Amino acid sequence: MADGSGKKSQNWESNRIKHALHLPGWVFRKDSETTLRANGKPVLVSEYQADMKGSLFCPECCCPLFRSPLNEEANKTGKNAFYAHRRNIVTECGLRTKKAEGKKYLSEEEAAQAIVDGKLVIVEGFLQSRPATPEKQAEVYSQSAVEDQDGEIASVPIARHRGRSFNLPAKLTTVRGLCRKFDDNLYKYYVFPGAKHARLLLDSLRNISIMDSPTQSEILGFGRITSIWDAGSNPHNIRFVKLEFNRRGGYADFSIKIQKYDAELHDLNEGAIGKFVLFYGIVRESGVGLAVSNLAWGEVSLLPAKYDQYLI
């Protein structure tokens, strides 16, 4: 979508800035961006307080943000309220303009620094095998353990010079890892396996409820669980985790097909109805519906409920 001027683009931009970073006293282009990222508190539009004015910054480019309309009562959600970048400050920001070729880097050093700063992640793959002693989903969220593992050096075509690639350290990660600190991760750039572009996680997510066809390659999909159905009582039987689906393209439903044993370890059971789940996989036709199946251990996770607002 083009970033023109006027109300239309403002609405588009505002939809993408789910939260601002609040840090009183921090000054744009004077103080360290690392400090802002580490100490700024994410504030949703609905959480805005009048005294935050002037201390809110963009989670991507750190530019000062304003909340519109300004005059509305502090706690009033106001359905049409939104955050926008200060008009008189120019920044190159993926939330202002979505570029078809994704984020490009001037040099290998610049890209390597972005990785060190936690703004860019090169994903070599998702963890395939189940750990010897898998942790239950609920237990994992209460820990600060990092699930990422170092991978190989990868050659990625994210140079500003056409046709050039950079050699950068890649990670083995998990969808569960993406879901932890989901609010931070949304505004990082990711290069997923085989991808030619560095995209904001926000722009990589696909809402499966409005899908109308299978996919050729893996997608990072999300959906809300509506029901659970088991094909049998054996732990090795397949569980169908059904997701909210608008029956586009003539398909009746959308399921994640997963072995019951693994489903339980991921807390994908009756207790998860109403929650959002994320997966990384290929969407295929399955009977009268669409489905993802054969997901590896690291390719599926429930989203902690506190992040629901980021997907609605």
Should residue 95 be labelled a site residue for Zn ion when binding is judged by CB under 5 A? yes
Candidates 62-70, 187-195, 271-279, 286-294: pick the segment binding Zn ion (CB under 5 A): 62-70
Should residue 36 be labelled a site residue for Zn ion when binding is judged by CB under 5 A? no
**Minimum gap (Å) between residue 47 Cβ and Zn ion:** 19
Should residue 156 be labelled a site residue for Zn ion when binding is judged by CB under 5 A? no
Candidates 36-44, 93-101, 130-138, 232-240: pick the segment binding Zn ion (CB under 5 A): 93-101
Should residue 21 be labelled a site residue for Zn ion when binding is judged by CB under 5 A? no
Should residue 168 be labelled a site residue for Zn ion when binding is judged by CB under 5 A? no
Candidates 89-97, 118-126, 265-273, 294-302: pick the segment binding Zn ion (CB under 5 A): 89-97
**Minimum gap (Å) between residue 265 Cβ and Zn ion:** 38
Closer to Zn ion at the Cβ: 64 or 281?
A: 64
**Minimum gap (Å) between residue 108 Cβ and Zn ion:** 24
**Minimum gap (Å) between residue 59 Cβ and Zn ion:** 7
Taking the C-alpha atoms of residue 157 and residue 215, their distance in angstroms, rounded to an integer, is 23
Closer to Zn ion at the Cβ: 33 or 308?
A: 33
20, 43, 56, 61: which one contacts Zn ion (CB under 5 A)? 61
Applying CB under 5 A, the residues found at the interface with Zn ion are 58, 60-61, 63, 93, 95
